[in-house]
């Protein structure tokens, strides 16, 4: 019973997380306007951390497999969002981001 409940809660959590990751997918204007790339980079780092946490190297065998799957997908989506951001960002926005990262 416990394993089935864990699997069901993991599937529901993965579905909710997929909706959360997919929320910014709509691109209406081909401009980043005043948006910042920092939240996407932080979400990417979060996905890397939780993917590492779910791997059998850190966890007990594959008991956290749902954590690995949804955060692995999150890594792919966040990388796509960052690439899209830099594709549509102005030269000034790109320069200010890289300047902030080197401080």
Closest CA to 76 of 53, 44, 42, 36: 44
pLDDT of residue 83: 87
Pairwise pLDDT comparison (49 vs 1), residue with the higher score: 49
Find the domain containing 94 and state its range: 2-27+35-102
Query: What is the tens place of the pLDDT at every residue in 44-70?
Result: 998 899 899 888 888 888 888 888 888
Residue 43: pLDDT over 80: yes
Q: How many domains does the chain have?
A: 1
Report the C-alpha gap between 59 and 76 in whole angstroms: 22
- Single pTM value for the model: 0.71
Long-range contacts of 27-35 (CB under 8 A, 24+ apart): 27/84, 27/88, 30/88, 31/88, 31/90, 32/85, 32/88, 32/89, 32/90, 32/93, 35/85
Query: What is the tens place of the pLDDT at every residue in 6-35?
Result: 778 878 887 887 777 766 655 566 666 677
């Amino acid at each position: 019973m416990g394993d089935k409940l864990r699997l069901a809660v993991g599937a529901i959590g993965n579905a909710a997380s997929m909706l959360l990751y997919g929320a910014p997918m709509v691109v209406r204007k081909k401009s980043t306007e005043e948006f910042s790339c920092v939240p996407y980079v932080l979400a990417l780092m979060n996905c890397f951390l939780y993917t590492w946490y779910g791997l059998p190297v850190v966890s007990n065998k594959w008991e956290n497999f749902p954590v690995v799957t949804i955060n692995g997908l999150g890594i792919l989506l966040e990388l796509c969002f960052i690439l899209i951001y830099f594709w549509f960002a102005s030269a000034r926005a790109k320069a200010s981001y890289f300047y902030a990262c080197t401080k």
